[in-house]
Amino acid sequence: MTDIAAKASELLRLHHTGETLVLPTVWDAWSARAVVEAGFPALSIGSHPLANSRGQEDNEGMTLADALDGIRRITAAVDVPVTADVESGYDTPAAELVERVLEAGAVGINVEDTVHSEGRLRDVQEHADYIGAIRAAADQAGVELVINARTDAFLGKVAKFDDPLAEAVRRSQACEAAGARCVYPVRIPDAESLGVLLAELSGPLNVTAHPIDGAASGSFEDLKKAGVQRITFGPLLQVALTKNLTDLVNPWR
């Protein structure tokens, strides 16, 4: 646990250096090693690309055991802090989730407010309470687990809001108060909304970026200039590599 605790503290420190932290999103030992060899001090695991690599579906098409198997293989392959997407927690009590995530070697987690097994969005306090229980369990274990609290307020899939931006702010603020070390309002629609979120939130904000097409999310320079503290790629790095792979093999048909 000493090594895990040290890695968690290092991941937390990396969020507060004054520089934008980029955590390339990986899905297996090969992609993880490639990212570390490129010089990144930490990395993220996305549920979507991990599920794809296993022939399963995102949105908890994997079980928690499936996800942890993939996480464990990645953390064993690299010696840097790893944060992992555990979707909405796979209907797992907070203390058990923390215990199993730490045992698998991850020192950060994404936790979203869409409960996939029920097809609904947690209400604000319910999600904040779950985040708070995860924080308490991690603190009890003596590990500064970096909880990245995701809200799907902008997605409009299982719940629609008259003012998605205000809802994203409200949910993210509640999660910060509950102990999240970073917040993740997924699919921020425009630069103006991003500016509001950065102004209204007190801690680091995670933005998903496309590693090639900056027009989709803002370029690296744009996001740094705006003050974004953390960038991940979600499934977009894997998607970009799929095209490269197709281009490589097409001439051999």
CATH topology of domain 2-245: TIM Barrel (3.20.20)
Q: Are 237 and 28 contacting, i.e. CB atoms less than 8 angstroms apart?
A: no
**CB < 8 Å & 24+ apart, contacts of 170-173:** 170/124, 171/113, 171/124, 171/127, 171/128, 172/197, 172/200, 172/201, 172/205, 173/200, 173/201
Integer Cα distance of 193 and 182 in angstroms = 17
Rounded to two decimals, what is the model's pTM? Answer: 0.96
Q: Are 223 and 209 contacting, i.e. CB atoms less than 8 angstroms apart?
A: yes
Nearest to 231 by CA among 68, 10, 46: 46
Instruction: Extract the tokens encoding 38.
Output: 């490129």
Full pLDDT tens readout for the chain, 253 residues: 579 999 999 999 999 999 999 999 999 999 999 999 999 999 999 999 999 999 999 999 999 999 999 999 999 999 999 999 999 999 999 999 999 999 999 999 999 999 999 999 999 999 999 999 999 999 999 999 999 999 999 999 899 999 999 999 999 999 999 999 999 999 999 999 999 999 999 999 999 999 998 767 789 999 999 999 999 999 999 999 999 999 999 999 9
Helix, strand, coil in percent for the chain, rounding step 5: 50, 15, 35
Strand 114-115 and strand 120-121: pairing?
antiparallel
Domain coordinates in residue numbering, the chain: 2-245
